[in-house]
Amino acid sequence: MTRVTADVSFLRGYNQALVMAVGRTARTFERATVVEATGLTPQAVSKVIARLTADGLIRPAGVRRPGIGKPAVVYELVPDSRYAIGAHVARRTLRLVLVDLTGAVHHSAVSPLPRDFTPEQLLDALSAGIDTMTGTGDLRGRLTGLGIGMIGPLDHANGLVRDAHGLRHWHDVPLREIAEKHLGLPVHLDKDVTAGITAEAWRHGATFGDAALIMVESGIGGGFWLGGAAHRGAHTNAGEFGHTVVDLTGPRCVCGRHGCLEIVHHRAAEAGDVAHAARVLAVGVVNLLQTLDLAHVVLAGADLLRHPQIYLAAVTEAVGADARRADWLRTRVALSSLGADVIAAGAAMQVLDQHYGIPELGQSVIAGS
């Protein structure tokens, strides 16, 4: 499905996206900044800036006097020129956020979902929530779409919920299609953890290396950012990190195997030993680092964020204490900068990214089933 052809119009979108990325990362920028960051000629940057200004995506924001010479024009993104709405669909709650072009979260609202809610009930809740958020003003015209982050398994490419874990009415639901019809908005569907790591990456900009988001919330999942893009795996099923075996002789997990990270962690947490649970999680995180060699690990999820410092300390220590880790092998561990909004915000940013992010080219796609 991804485009393969490279014609000149690709260059246009690509270089525009580079400038937008600079603007998002740096807040304000000028022609010389972009020249340095992209390697384009100043003249080319002028053309790109002219196009983006005409589209209302960026605007002049004063001048910088370099001492001697003609002052440089400083530009900034126009935050309210485009918006996207992000939804985090969990088992019992729906969280909606409004995110602008710069990645700033404007509104955040949580509403309960009926136990074992149906697709129709979700659509109604989405519809109502979106109306509330876009009610005042002509915001609707600048809305690029809705991003939905939700539990899997699902099929990202086709917008299909295969079999949402723990929800009875969600077998092979073409959620993207029916939501687009119901809401009259472009919809993007992805796993919750993948949306979450996208939020962190989008906010940190191009200097964000390979990273993972560890989410502890009715299960343990992982979202991955590898090689400058979200990693979803061959069937949008990457991130079932909680179901990796860490204890061959451990208790039997719901998944059928023994000693999964999730069940071992759960037992410890259930026993009230949060510190031990955190250390178990930390073992899993170090396993990830050994396998993937990540630059960032971001911690999130409701259960984890109830004891943020305990988890942060345990993971930081395990990552750092590993004797084999040399000084060049550094991994930054942090709590999610967006807190509980991270999934919903990331889902929204995925929508913005489709329009104003760096386009992909020639991603080889293997035909599913």
Task: Give the span between the Cα atoms of 238 and 22, in whole angstroms.
Answer: 30
Sites for a second copy among residues 36-55 (CB under 8 A): 37-40
Contact call for residue 233 and DNA (CB under 7 A): no
Q: Which does 127 bind (CB under 5 to 8 A by kind): a second copy, DNA, none?
A: none
Contact call for residue 72 and DNA (CB under 7 A): yes
Among 228, 251, 320, 339, binds a second copy (CB under 8 A): 228
Q: Do residues 57 and 51 lie in contact, with contact meaning Cβ atoms separated by under 8 Å?
A: no
Question: What does the angle CA 174 – CA 165 – CA 234 come to, to the nearest 5 degrees?
Answer: 65
Contact call for residue 363 and a second copy (CB under 8 A): yes
Q: Which DSSP state fits 153?
A: S
Task: Give the span between the Cα atoms of 201 and 228, in whole angstroms.
Answer: 8
Among 237, 274, 307, 334, binds a second copy (CB under 8 A): 237
Contact call for residue 317 and a second copy (CB under 8 A): no
Instruction: Copy the structure tokens of residue 34.
Output: 């972009």
Task: Give the span between the Cα atoms of 159 and 145, in whole angstroms.
Answer: 14
Task: Give the span between the Cα atoms of 143 and 351, in whole angstroms.
Answer: 10
Q: Do residues 158 and 148 lie in contact, with contact meaning Cβ atoms separated by under 8 Å?
A: no
Contact call for residue 204 and DNA (CB under 7 A): no
- Of the two residues 64 and 332, which places its CB atom closer to a second copy in the complex? 332
- Of the two residues 31 and 279, which places its CB atom closer to DNA in the complex? 31
Least distance CB 38 / DNA (angstroms): 9
**Size, binding site for a second copy by CB under 8 A:** 83
Sites for a second copy among residues 164-223 (CB under 8 A): 206-210, 222
From 63-71, 84-92, 128-136, 237-245, give the range in contact with a second copy by CB under 8 A.
Answer: 237-245
Task: Give the span between the Cα atoms of 235 and 37, in whole angstroms.
Answer: 35
Q: Which does 291 bind (CB under 5 to 8 A by kind): DNA, a second copy, none?
A: a second copy
From 36-44, 156-164, 244-252, 321-329, give the range in contact with DNA by CB under 7 A.
Answer: 36-44
Instruction: Copy the structure tokens of residue 362.
Output: 């020639």
Among 14, 46, 51, 354, binds a second copy (CB under 8 A): 14
Tracing tokens 């019992």 back to the chain, one arrives at: 92
Least distance CB 361 / DNA (angstroms): 12
Task: Please give the span between the terminal C-alpha atoms of the chain, in angstroms, as a whole number.
Answer: 15
Q: Which does 136 bind (CB under 5 to 8 A by kind): DNA, a second copy, none?
A: none
Amino acid at 50: A
What strands lie across the sheet with 93-100, from one edge to the other? 105-112, 93-100, 83-89, 143-150, 187-191
Sites for DNA among residues 42-71 (CB under 7 A): 42-44, 46-50, 63, 65-71
Least distance CB 53 / DNA (angstroms): 9
Task: Give the span between the Cα atoms of 148 and 126, in whole angstroms.
Answer: 10
Amino acid at 241: F
Residues engaged in binding DNA (CB under 7 A): 5-9, 11-12, 15, 30-32, 40-44, 46-50, 63, 65-73
